[in-house]
Amino acid sequence: RKEVEQDPGPFNVPEGATVAFNCTYSNSASQSFFWYRQDCRKEPKLLMSVYSSGNEDGRFTAQLNRASQYISLLIRDSKLSDSATYLCVVNGRGNDMRFGAGTRLTVKP
């Protein structure tokens, strides 16, 4: 089983749509969770950290379910500029980060 699993997509949605990404992780001892965004041929950049209580940043909402070892990212009112690959990241056993394969999102006019 992979340490971090994501639906690879692709997700093709119209502007203004709401889209949700899911991620599961295998290490129950993980403490830190993140969503990174990666544009084509660019480096990953932090989108948001994911806290136990859930957190929101503008149009983006992240949720964590420790019991199910599940993380989600919700994007509301999608913009063309949201098109990217979204990476679920979980801190590993050595307190470093392990990545999911990423979910590709394309927002169309």
Partner 1 sequence: EAGVTQFPSHSVIEKGQTVTLRCDPISGHDNLYWYRRVMGKEIKFLLHFVKESKQDESGMPNNRFLAERTGGTYSTLKVQPAELEDSGVYFCASSYQAGTTEAFFGQGTRLTVV
Residues of this chain that bind partner 1 (CB under 8 A) = 2, 4, 31-32, 34, 42-46, 49, 87, 91-92, 94-102
Q: Which residues pair with 25 in a beta bridge?
A: 4
100 or 107: whose CB is closer to partner 1? 100
Within 13 Å of residue 104, how many CA atoms lie on the same side as its CB?
A: 6
8 or 16: whose CB is closer to partner 1? 8
Are the CB atoms for 103 and 12 separated by under 8 Å? Answer: no
Are the CB atoms for 88 and 100 separated by under 8 Å? Answer: yes
95 or 109: whose CB is closer to partner 1? 95
Kindly state the smallest distance separating residue 4's Cβ from partner 1, in Å. 8
Kindly state the smallest distance separating residue 25's Cβ from partner 1, in Å. 13
Which token pair is 105?
Answer: 């999102």
Kindly state the smallest distance separating residue 90's Cβ from partner 1, in Å. 9
DSSP state of 77: S
